[in-house]
Amino acid sequence: MTILSQWILAGALIGLATGVNAAGGDPEKGAQLAAQGDGTGAPCAACHGADGSGNNAAGFPRLAGLDSGYLAKQMLDYNAGKRINPVMQPNINNFDAQQIRDLAAYYAAMPVPQTSTPATVSEDVLALGEKLANQGDWGNYIPPCSSCHGPGNRGVGATFPAIAGQHPNYIRSQINAWKNNQRNNDPNKLMTAVAERLTDEQIDAVAAYLGSQSATAE
């Protein structure tokens, strides 16, 4: 079996096995919870924006249109201490699992805003990013991002989040968090294995490329 088919098989099996079932989330309740906050934290819109589009400069991810199962898993991971971030964590640690499903349903149902960030890097760097995203760097055992994150890197189910149209600063921070052992919540270390092989130059390039892409299939 080639390395690529092993990765894809692993991804498919994990997708079946660990996809968080976010069914049962109520987007209207989620909207109320998002506006109120969890009692001690700030309302979600203070950072993620009223339209869920996040903010590149501040490093706040886009949430609108991401898969509800993926969103719910991330919030549960923060609350379980499996994903650590002192800015995000205090905003949801008083919510229970049902409230988290409601919030996830609310953001998943939001129209995807046009968040693409025009790339400020050179054509050569952008081309390097595009190659990594869609063809990988097999000489260094790096599969294409799209082999897991799906066609156009627009996400597959609850396991593989959309990364096209996500903010470059956020993409960079997450890859570095995996590389530096600060984010450890990926199933079977699928993302860690990729992140630890990427050079700083490659991370900058792929983040700029993905950020410049449309989050929707047109």
Residues annotated within a binding site for heme c: 44, 47-48, 88, 145, 148-149, 191
119 scored as a contact of ligand HEC (CB under 6 A): no
CA pair distance 152, 200, nearest whole angstrom:
23
Rounded to whole angstroms, the Cα distance separating 183 from 178 reads 5
Q: Is 208 exposed, middle or buried (0-12, 13-18, 19+ CB in 10 A)?
A: buried
Distance of closest approach, residue 34 Cβ to ligand HEC, in angstroms: 5
- 32 versus 122: smaller Cβ distance to ligand HEC: 32
**Binding-site member from 25, 65, 69, 161 for ligand HEC (CB under 6 A):** 161
DSSP letter at 24 equals T
Stretch of 19-27, 109-117, 118-126, 184-192 contacting ligand HEC, by CB under 6 A: 184-192
Q: Pick the binder of ligand HEC from 3, 13, 17, 42 (CB under 6 A).
A: 42
Cβ atoms of 97 and 76 within 8 Å: the answer is yes
Task: Single out the segment in contact with ligand HEC by CB under 6 A; choices: 19-27, 110-118, 119-127, 153-161.
Answer: 153-161
147 counts as binding ligand HEC under rule CB under 6 A: yes
Structure tokens at 64: 């609108």
Cα 148 to Cα 21: distance, rounded to the nearest angstrom:
19
What is the chain's length? 218
Q: Residue 188: left if φ>0, alpha if ψ -120 to 50, beta else—which one? A: left
Query: Which residues lie near ligand HEC (CB under 6 A)?
Result: 7, 11, 34, 37-38, 41-42, 44, 46-48, 59-61, 63, 66, 71, 73-75, 83, 85, 87-88, 91-92, 103, 132, 143, 145, 147-149, 159-161, 163, 166, 171, 173-175, 185-187, 190-191, 194, 206
